[in-house]
Amino acid sequence: MTPVGDPSARGGAPTATRLRTVTAEKLETDGRRQLRARNRERLLTAASTLFAQRGYRSTTTKDIAEAAGITERTLFRHVPSKAALFREAVIAPVESFVVDFTSGWSDRPRGARAAEVEIREFFDNLLAVLDGERHLLQAMMACLAFEPDDADFPELQKTLAPLLDTLDAVFAIEADVRGWKLDPVIGVRLIIGMALSVIVHQDWLFAGHRRPSRGAMVEELTKLTAWGVAGRADQSRLDVLGEGGHRRGKQRRQT
């Protein structure tokens, strides 16, 4: 029987016992959430490491769970399949790069910076991501080359397509503003292909030579993309690249 003077019986302030119960429940919920987040982080780290070392086919979910210090049952609470885990481990870093790049680009007025500055920043950030995930990217490319028909293998081409489509849209706007003539779809894939290749295949590309630093590769990729094989700006075409291209783009849209 509830005492007459108990404020909880009249909908008033909760009792100390009720407060302690609510606090304990909240702490328990927060603890489970933190444990789940830690398990997921360990899971992705273990998956990335094993996929890079062994490839997709030779890595099992049991291997990944043991490396992460969790049970295989817990693994499947986080991801539905090994294929989904591989996709998340491979695509997440690249997806974060695209989101960060497009967000920063969207915050600036179109044509506000010289083309060379935009291109250099793009390559600098992209190569940092690719270099950090180099061995995992090698595993991904091996899967695409040798295991494309595996029933359990994620359709990475379709997973990557939206990211490339986003960059296509950015390139198309930049091309309109600056007067570039490259096809956005082809141009973006050539640019990404150069960066991906020089990171993934650098062992044989620079065999017999001192491997260049990432900064040196960023610089050369920037010059090649912005100015072509000449490696420097053609003064007679500054109306096409940089601020002149910005003015030309605006004039074209007004006419």
pLDDT at 236: 54
pLDDT of 99 reads: 94
Classify residue 14 as left (phi > 0), alpha (psi -120 to 50) or beta: beta
- Return d(Cα 115, Cα 206) in angstroms, integer: 28
Rg (CA), the chain: 26
Residue type, 145: A
d(CA 225, CA 198): 14
Distance, C-alpha 199 to centroid of its chain: 16
Domain coordinates in residue numbering, the chain? 16-79, 82-254
Task: Give me the residue label for tokens 């991801």.
Answer: 79
CATH placement of domain 82-254:
1.10.357
The topology under which CATH files domain 16-79 is: Arc Repressor Mutant, subunit A (1.10.10)
Query: Smallest Cα–Cα separation from 188: which of 111, 123, 105?
Result: 123
Task: Kindly report the number of other CB atoms within 10 A of residue 237's CB atom.
Answer: 13
Which long-range contacts link 59-62 to residues 24+ away (Cβ below 8 Å)? 61/85
Low pLDDT (below 50) residues in the chain: 8-9, 238-255
What does the pLDDT read at residue 152? 66
d(CA 210, CA 228): 24
pLDDT digits (tens, 9 = 90+) for 203-212: 999 999 999 9
Contacts for 207 with CB less than 8 Å, ≥ 6 apart = none
Tokens 């940092």 correspond to 128
